């Protein structure tokens, strides 16, 4: 499994808004442990990836509700040749980049 620091940021922010502090902290600490142990690969959005995501923002100007975090995920997936994504986010279907959604959004 692969994720980015931007996605991790969103998970942390959302979890602490919706779950009690101790539960959220335990969950995030477990994620950090999985990252340290190599069960989850954490990729950074560096300057090159950021700039490419910014270019995608212009390319998908007709889809303003796609978040910048989603755009950075698109960039990482293309960089790392990842075509399968675990999500219920419909934005991954809105772009024509060949992503396969899992589980199927049916």
Write out pLDDT tens, residues 80-105: 998 888 877 777 777 767 777 777 75
pLDDT tens column, 35-61: 999 999 999 999 999 999 999 999 999
**Tokens describing residue 21:** 């502090």
Give me the residue spans of the domains in the chain: 1-44
Within 8 A by CB and 6+ apart from 63, the residues are: 91, 94, 95
If phi > 0 it is left, if psi is from -120 to 50 it is alpha, else beta; for residue 77 that is alpha
Predicted local confidence at residue 13, as pLDDT: 97
Name the residue with tokens 């959220």: 24
Q: Which residues pair with 43 in a beta bridge?
A: 4
pTM above 0.85, yes or no: no
């Amino acid at each position: 499994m692969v994720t980015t620091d931007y996605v991790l940021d969103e998970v942390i922010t959302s979890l602490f808004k919706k779950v009690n502090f101790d539960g959220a902290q335990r969950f995030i600490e477990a994620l950090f442990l999985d990252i340290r142990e190599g069960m989850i690969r954490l990729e950074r959005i560096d300057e090159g990836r950021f700039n490419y995501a910014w270019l995608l923002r212009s390319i998908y100007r007709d889809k303003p509700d796609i978040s910048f975090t989603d755009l950075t995920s698109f960039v990482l997936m293309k960089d790392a040749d990842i075509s399968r994504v675990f999500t219920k986010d419909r934005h991954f279907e809105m772009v024509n980049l060949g992503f396969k959604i899992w589980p199927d959004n049916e």
